[in-house]
Amino acid sequence: MSSPRSIMAADVGPRLALVALGANLPSARGDSPAATVCSAMDLLQELSARSMRRSSLWQSVPIDCPPGSPVFVNAVVAMQPGPDMTAPALLRRLQQIEQDFGRVRDGAVNAPRVLDLDLISFAGQRESSAWLTLPHPRAHLRAFVLYPLAEILPELVLPGQSRTVMDLAGELGPTDCRPLLET
| Pairing between β-strand 116-122 and β-strand 17-23 as defined by DSSP bridges | antiparallel
The parent domain of residue 132 ranges over 4-179
Amino acid sitting at position 49 = A
Q: What is the pLDDT of residues 53-76, one digit of tens each?
A: 999 999 999 988 888 899 999 999
Smallest CA-to-CA distance from 12 within 74, 54, 70 is with 54
| Per-residue confidence (pLDDT) for residue 165, from 0 to 100 | 96
Domain total in the chain: 1
Q: What is the pLDDT of residues 106-127, one digit of tens each?
A: 777 778 999 999 999 999 999 9
Which of 53, 116, 126, 176 is an active site residue?
116
pTM: 0.91
Which of 113, 138, 167, 176 is an active site residue?
113
Which of 118, 138, 176, 178 is an active site residue?
118
Catalytic residue list contains 103: yes
Catalytic residue list contains 113: yes
Catalytic residue list contains 126: no
Low-confidence ranges of the chain (pLDDT < 50): 1-10, 183
Which of 42, 103, 126, 163 is an active site residue?
103
Catalytic residue list contains 64: no
**For the chain, how are helix, strand and coil distributed in percent, rounded to 5?**
30, 20, 50
Smallest CA-to-CA distance from 131 within 107, 157, 95 is with 95
Q: Domain with 64 in it: what CATH number?
A: 3.30.70.560
What distance in Å separates the CA atoms of residue 31 and residue 36, rounded to the nearest whole number? 7
Q: What percent of the chain has pLDDT over 90?
A: 76
User: How confident is the prediction for the chain on average, in pLDDT?
Assistant: 89
